[in-house]
Structure 1
Amino acid sequence: MTSRSVCVFCGSRPGNDPVYAAEAEATGTMLAENGWRLVYGAGDVGLMGTVARAAQAAGGETFGVIPTHLLKAEVGKTDLSTFVITENMHERKKVMFMNSDAIVVLPGGAGSLDEFFEVLTWRQLHLHQKPIFLLNTAGFWNPLLALVDHVVEQGFADASLRELIRPKDTTADLNAALRTALS
């Protein structure tokens, strides 16, 4: 049985810079090498597929969750250790969150932002204590971090909000941070 599980939210597209896929692959490998189960959106496309294939190739356990309406679009990866189909996006996020000990957000689009802000809001409201990491590959999340700083500066959130977000520039940095957080 896997001791810890890490939820990875990321894009269903690869992005324009090949470094995004390289870091996604490194993340999947790193999770498996640490014996941590990958919990993710069960797609076999974009960064999602890259993370999962890398975790599998390194012998890792994979737990994928996908809503019925995305089975075709995200090419549901049915060869995972655990493959769960939900009725909707809300259930997907809940199942992913409930089956993880830490959250990692790789580059992605609106879906990844939605997932990030939901778990961040829950953390801000003290509904969980799971660490939230942003893999800030090539500075991808810098505009988001600046926006959060702006929200705090304008008085719409306490400065403690920024402290709930743990940006890491590389998979090696993320690995070290996860080892500490999950020990």
Structure 2
Amino acid sequence: MVIRKIIVGVMGGGMASPSDYKIAYNLGGLIAKEGWVLLNGGRPTGIMDASAKGAKDKGGLTVGILPAYDSHQASCYIDIPIVTGMGDGRNYINVLSSDIVVALPGKAGTISEIALALKNRKKVILVNFDTGVLFEDYSKEGLLKDARDEDEVINIIKEEFVLKQ
């Protein structure tokens, strides 16, 4: 029996504060340490670049879902660039290809990824990202969780996804 690797989608802004960059970097490393695949938007900016770099520095596998028509925009830390030519439409691919989604601070693109994930019944973990009451009903259902840091994210993934397989 072949067991497929877990794909963890890490979403977040193209701009990141130093503390969010550090969390994303550490999270990428922890995802790699677990033997999971890191998937993100693939660009060399913000949360995307930080999480991919963290995963690569720990020997992990990274997948980037790119908005453009070629792979020239891919972060150098992306192993497998998926070229979509879809612009923001790639957000659907980001969340549907992820087994679980982790969202760090971002703007409208990150909010759209959270919304698409929840609409499609994917579990979402927010880290340092207050969405207010926007997704309150999903929190009540257990689809949306908050984590204080990257270590708690890994624990939630293990409890909510790995142990329920």
TM over 0.5: yes
Please identify, of 101-110 and 75-84, the stretch whose mean Cα deviation from structure 2 is larger.
75-84
Paired residue type of 1:36: W
1:118 counterpart letter in structure 2: L
Give the C-alpha shift of residue 88 in structure 1. 0.9
Maintained 8 Å contact 1:68/1:86: yes
CA distance in structure 1 between the aligned counterparts of 2:6 and 2:153, rounded to whole angstroms: 15
- Shift in alpha-carbon separation, 1:118–1:99, aligned structure 2, 3 A: closer
Distance 1:160 1:43 in 2: 29
For residues 147 and 94 of structure 1, the distance between their equivalents in structure 2, rounded to whole angstroms, comes to 19
Unpaired segments of 5 or more residues in structure 2? none
16, 27, 30: which one aligns with 1:14: 16
Normalising by the residue count of structure 1, what TM-score does the alignment of the two structures yield?
Answer: 0.77
Q: CA RMSD in A?
A: 2.3
Return the index of the structure with the highest Cα Rg: 1
Measure, in 1, the Cα distance between the counterparts of 2:20 and 2:62.
20
In the alignment, which residue of structure 2 is the partner of 1:134?
126
SS of aligned partner of 1:54:
helix
Shift of 1:133: 1.0
* 1:43 counterpart residue number: 43
Residues 1-183 of structure 1: pairs in structure 2 closer than 5 A: 3-15=5-17, 18-68=18-68, 75-77=73-75, 80-89=78-87, 91-123=89-121, 130-135=122-127, 137=128, 140-141=129-130, 144-149=131-136, 159=137, 162-163=140-141, 164-180=143-159, 181-183=161-163
**Which deviations, in whole Å up to 9, do the C-alpha atoms of 1:19-39 show, x marking residues without a partner?**
111111111111001111001
Equivalent residue letter for 1:146: V
TM-score normalised to structure 2 length: 0.85
Distance 1:52 1:79 in 2: 5
Q: % of aligned pairs identical? A: 25
Task: Answer whether contact 1:2 1:37 (CA < 8 A) is retained.
Answer: no
Q: 1:70 to 1:117 in 2, by over 3 A?
A: farther
